[in-house]
Amino acid sequence: MKKAPLASLAALGVLALALSGCGTTDVAAQDTAAPDSVASADCSADDTATSTDPVTLTDDYGRTVELDKPAERVAILEWQQIEDALTLCVTPVAVADAEGYSTWDTAEVLPEGVTDVGTRQEPNLEALFATNPDLVIVEASSADDEIIAQLEAYDVPVLATIGADAADPIAKMLATFDLIAQATGREERAEVVTDEFDAYLADAKGELADADLATTDFIFFDGWVDGGNVAIRPFGQGSLIGEIGEELGLTNAWTGEVDAAYGLGQTDIEGMVAVGDANLLHTGTEAEAEDDFLSSLESNPVWESLPAVTEERVYSFPAGIWTFGGPRSAQQIIDAYVGALSQ
Amino acid sequence: MRGAPVEADAATGGRATRLGPVATLVALGILLLAVSLWHLTQGTSGAVFADETVLWGSRIPRLAAGITVGIALGVAGTLLQSLSRNSLASPDTLGVTAGSYLAVTIVTAFGIAVPIWASGTVAFAGGLVGAVIVLGLAGGAASSTTRLVLAGSALAMAFQAGTSTLLILFQEETDGLLAWGSGSLTQLNLDAFLQAAPIVVLVLAIAILMGRRFDVLALGDDTASSLGVPIRSTRAVGILFAVALTAISVTLAGPLGFVGLCAPVLARLLTRVVPGLARHVFLLPASGLIGALVVILSDAVLRALLGAEAAISIPTGVATTLLGAVILVVMARKLRDAGPTREPPQVRFGVRSESRYWTVLALSIVGVIGIVVAGLLLGASLLRTGDVALWLQGDAPPQIAFALSERAPRITAAICAGAALALSGTLIQAVSRNPLADPGILGVTGGAGLGAVIVVTSAVASTAGMIVAAVVGALLAFALVYLLAWRRGLNADRFILIGIGVSYGAVALTTFVLLRANPWDTPKIYTWLSGTTYGRVWEQIIPIAVVLLIALPLAFALRREEDVLALDEDTPRLVGIGLERTRLVLLVTAAVLAALSVTAVGVIGFVGLVAPHAARALVGARHSRVIPVAVLLGALLVGAADTIGRTVIAPEQLPAGLVVALLGAPYFVWLLWRSRDA
């Protein structure tokens, strides 16, 4: 009886061998054409030219990336960069966590048929390179992040980006967008989008200035309730969403300690006292649990004593806005600010 | 400690400063009050004297939760220790907290909407399942210390593997759960406390009323039944109480590590000064108060050191686990040699024939070859053997070459690490004469993981640096365990218990370092803590392969010594084997093997435990046979786990360590169940 598992394993191995035979796999005629263009209304109306010149660029970690021609078959391993490519009307051949992207980032719709290569932390390299990419765009945490070396081993150019920089998050977001535009020869389109973004920002700023707000102070946060526990994550100085608020003429009231990349802080309900009479803005999701989060907070006297709560200035942003996205997500954020505050 | 840790040694009294138990309780209460007042001056708003709203909305709920959790865990720990007559039983080592955590994670990950009042039920159910399985498997409440701790730790490992899998696959859904999973006192409001407090008070009151029964039960089953105490019902009620108290504390504050272990241990230490305290009427409230003191003090010190806002990113549980680990080590050092009553848990298998050995060996070799081939062929895409042949000649099409040159180092890493861990486990089990010991439980892998994580999260991260740091971390942890356990020789039980303490401490520190570096990258943290072959390159595998080539012949050459060491303490001396020197050689070999396996696959548990057992079951206990078979089986297990992890949910991947725990847990459960009467 003790031998059974071992024997069956061995049998399984033999069976696998027999089934797979000694043949070779036919590799389908290599798909080297560019994938379909993005089908969004925006992109069907797009008439910007795509460069065909060789590309030489320096990525976020000072690595030189040389391409004979702009990349057409890009594999992208982080959501912000996926969104960027789609905004540039470039459909990636492979992305990490396609389902998660579609749930959490609704700024650009990911077309059907893009290969999913698994989680963002451990993308399946085999599935990734099976799509025959001519460029891999990855977000790395440092110049010698293991993922860069792992990808480089496959002889496909790797563009390493930094996700965010709390020193100037909007400029960083646009720079990443621009970097991807250069790599794909879509600078012309990038210029159009960037101009649109600037105009969008200016319009919204005007709209909010006219809106006669009780206070221009605000704090944006998300959070969780588990059991009797609560955790609040404020988007502090240097967070993309916070800086967009500031650009709109508002003041981000969260001045607590934040991380160096995303500008995120951590606090509890008591910590919210520090924001004074600031408007309270909150991540929205479609899940019911999220509504529970806000209504759970209402049972707390400190929360109930916050000026914004007593004056009913607590607003939920719409669901599906990725707070770490590209220019189109940023425009969704701008819409959300205007929608919430000028109600 | 073993046998009757709660014996009322009132006869040894006669100290000049003999305090009454009541006075002691009052003193503890006053101390708690003082620490509580300090605790109330801390908060994220920065004010020392908070206004009424903040006081009632934030600080009092936090303090109340801390005190309630501390009392609940302290009392639960005391009940479990008394019922099992075992000074190392606690809600953590009995799988209660891990069970609760898994249940809560399942609910969160799948977005099952549970009202807040009911989330306690979820935690309770999970905790109950954990406790029932562990106590059942370990052969009931009167089981030996080592056995119970190992059974509980192993089950907790399996639960943790399930939890980690969910945290990795449902990252966005479970974003807030990592910090919670280490224990946090940040309260929503007073409601949870108001629901929990009456139950805690009620349970404590009934337990105190039953105090005499617990006193008598601690004297032994025979004594108890001759005195008319119903054993089964007392035990069942006590365990249910302990589980209820633990589940309540998990609901309030998440799994707060080790309070349930160290509070009762401290209370029992107090009984040396205040003998009257040993009676459960006083012991239960005393450990409750001490538990509350430990929680509030850990929290207050952490907040005083880091500032209230920064301290939020470091769960209170990390601090209490560190404190608990230190206490465990100190207590284990006091462990007396148990003498002739000591009987290590064993699984006995009959003598196996020569022909059986050769059959098993041949099958294992075929199995390993099979898994190497399967590992190359299976993955995100199914390949055929001809592809491998082409690839070896360098003629494969690029896509297939990509796939194979990614799979080859991974399956090699898995095979080498599995073999190394199995050999390491075999040696450690022989030396410690405990078939339930493994490199993970001896602090070696914990130390290696800590060293590696410190380098990975630092500015100077590099592959070579990581390998060096892992080896140094492992050897330091091992040296620490060895030196702490050394008291005129090495007592096997003491060695294991200190190893567990150091191991828990290392994991708490690893969590601390990872949370400080990046609190939001939960999947990365859990992937790291659970072991993966992801992205292995040949440079990371060479060290383990080389050491394996040296260690295997060495271990085989010393097979006779290992056989004799595994017998008992005296035989090696009789047959003229230098006991301590041989032990040291074997242990250092085991430590180096385990350390290098961490560089190849991260922290993988279970293999070192399970492979030697399976080998003994198949070919008998002689090391000349156990070593080759165990090494092959270890390679087979990790190789299979890696291949399964890469294949079943492709393109997503499960870390090999999690699959090993998920595969290994059922086997281990069976093993413990089978050996419960040994």
- CB distance B175–A224 less than 8 Å? yes
* pLDDT, position B117: 59
Kindly determine whether residue A227 and residue B104, on different chains, have CB atoms separated by under 8 Å. yes
Residue B611 with chain A: CB contacts under 8 Å: none
Locate the chain B residue with the closest alpha carbon to A268.
B186
Q: Do B180 and A229 lie within an 8 Å CB cutoff? A: yes
Min Cα separation B254/chain A (Å):
8
Instruction: With CB atoms and an 8 Å threshold, state whether A121 touches B369.
Output: no
Provide, as residue numbers in chain A, all residues whose Cβ is less than 8 Å from the Cβ of B108. Answer: 226
Distance in angstroms (rounded) separating the CA atoms of residues B504 and B510: 10
Choose the closest CB to A299 out of B186, B189, B196.
B189
Give Cβ neighbours of residue A340 (< 8 Å, ≥ 6 apart). Answer: A279, A281, A315, A316, A317
Q: Give B19's DSSP letter.
A: -
Mutate to test the interface with A, among B189, B522, B538, B629 (most CBs of A within 10 A): B189
Which of B359, B545, B539 lies closest to B466 in space, CA to CA?
A: B539
E-only strand ranges, B193-240:
none
pLDDT level of residue A35 (50, 70, 90 thresholds): low
User: Is residue A2 scored above 50 in pLDDT?
Assistant: no
Beta-carbon contacts of residue B228 (< 8 Å; ≥ 6 apart): none
Which residue, chain included where needed, has tokens 């946090």?
B184
Which residue does chain B place closest to A297, by CA atoms? B188
pLDDT over 70 percentage in chain B = 85
> For the segment B75-87, what is each residue's pLDDT rounded down to a tens digit?
999 998 888 776 7
Q: Range with the lowest mean pLDDT among A287-301, B210-224, B232-246?
A: A287-301
| pLDDT number for residue B337 | 47
Which ipTM did the prediction report?
0.80
How far apart, in whole angstroms, are the C-alpha atoms of residue B413 and residue B508? 27
Q: Give residue A325's pLDDT.
A: 92
- Residue B66's closest CA among B303, B335, B294? B294
What percent of chain B has a predicted confidence (pLDDT) above 90? Answer: 21
Chain A, nearest residue to B194 by Cα: A228
Per-residue pLDDT, averaged over B367-372, amounts to 93
- Of A14, A121, A267, nearest to B524 by CB-CB distance is A121
B309–A14 CB contact, under 8 Å: no
- B472 vs B175, higher pLDDT: B472
Over residues A167-195, mean pLDDT: 94
User: How sure is the predictor about B494, in pLDDT bands with cuts at 50, 70 and 90?
Assistant: confident
Distance from B20 to chain A by nearest Cα, in Å? 38
Kind of pairing between the strands at A217-226 and A229-235: antiparallel
| Mutation for B interface: A2, A25, A26, A224, most B CBs within 10 A | A25
Above pLDDT 70, what percent of chain A? 87
> How does pLDDT run across B222-260, given as a tens digit for each residue?
888 888 888 778 887 888 888 889 888 888 888 887 788
Residues of chain A contacting residue B671, judged by C-beta atoms under 8 Å apart: none
Residue B526 has pLDDT above 60, yes or no: yes
pLDDT band at residue A264 using 50, 70 and 90 as cut-offs: confident
pLDDT bracket for residue B461 (50, 70, 90): low
Q: What is the mean pLDDT of chain B?
A: 81
The mean pLDDT of chain A is 85
Of A9, A125, A149, the CB nearest to B406: A125
The reported pLDDT for the residue numbered A243 is: 94
Over range B33-56, report the average pLDDT: 87
* Residue from A108, A106, A105, A124 nearest A116 by CA: A124
In chain B, the residue whose alpha carbon lies closest to the alpha carbon of A285 is B173
> Do B417 and B638 form a contact (C-beta atoms < 8 A)?
yes
Q: What is the pLDDT of residues B563-574, one digit of tens each?
A: 888 777 677 777
Burial class from Cβ neighbours inside 10 Å (0-12, 13-18, 19+) for residue B617 reads middle
CB count within 10 Å of CB B653 equals: 29
| Residue predicted with more confidence, B279 or B100 | B279
- Cis check: omega of the bond before B285, within 30 degrees of 0: no
**CA distance, residue A60 to nearest chain B CA (Å):** 17
A193: helix, coil or strand?
helix
Interaxial angle between packed helices B231-253 and B60-84, expressed in degrees from 0 to 180 and rounded to the nearest 10: 150
Q: Using alpha carbons, list the distances in angstroms from residue B459 to A145, A183, B456, B466.
A: 10, 29, 8, 12
Report which of B183, B330, B324, B333 is spatially closest to residue B262, judged by C-alpha positions.
Answer: B324
Residue B143: closest CA among B89, B99, B190: B89
Nearest to A27 among B113, B251, B397 (CB): B397
Instruction: Give B547 to chain A, closest Cα distance, Å.
Output: 24
Q: Are B433 and B612 in contact (CB under 8 A)?
A: no
- B140 has a pLDDT exceeding 70: no
The residues pairing with A235 across neighbouring beta strands, listed in sequence order, are A220, A264
Q: What is the pLDDT of residue B2?
A: 36
Q: What pLDDT, on a 0 to 100 scale, did the predictor assign at position B1?
A: 34
Cβ–Cβ < 8 Å for B310, B50: no
Burial of A78 (0-12, 13-18, 19+ CB in 10 A): buried
In total, the C-beta contacts within 8 angstroms joining chain A to chain B are: 270
Q: Read off the pLDDT band of B146 (50, 70, 90).
A: low
Q: Which residue of B has its CA nearest to A232?
A: B176
- Residue A117: its chain B contacts at CB < 8 A? 651
The residue ranking higher by pLDDT, B114 or A75, is A75
Q: Do A146 and B360 touch (CB under 8 A)?
A: no
Closest CA to B170 of A235, A333, A75, A287: A287
pLDDT the model gives residue A137: 95
CB contact under 8 A, B192 and A301: no
CB contact under 8 A, A299 and B44: no
Give the span between the Cα atoms of B147 and B144, in whole angstroms: 5
CB contact under 8 A, B403 and A129: yes
Which candidate, B479, B664, B451, B634, places its Cα nearest to that of B551? B634
Name the amino acid, one letter, at A330: A
Least confident range of A85-99, A121-135, A162-176, B276-290: A121-135
What is the CA B117 to chain-centroid distance, rounded?
Answer: 30
Question: Is-above-0.95 flag for pTM?
Answer: no
pLDDT-derived band at A67 (thresholds 50, 70, 90) equals: very high
Q: In which band, very low, low, confident or very high, does the pLDDT at A20 lie, cut at 50, 70 and 90? A: low
A212-222: pLDDT as tens digits: 888 899 999 98
B483-B488-B490 Cα angle (round to 5):
60
Give the burial string for B517-543 (b: 16+ CB within 10 Å, else e): bebbbbbbbbbbbbbbbbbbeeebbeb
User: In 10 A of CB B663, how many CB atoms?
Assistant: 19
Q: Which residues contact B285 (CB under 8 A, 6 or more apart)?
A: B25, B204, B208
Assess whether pLDDT exceeds 70 at residue B377.
yes
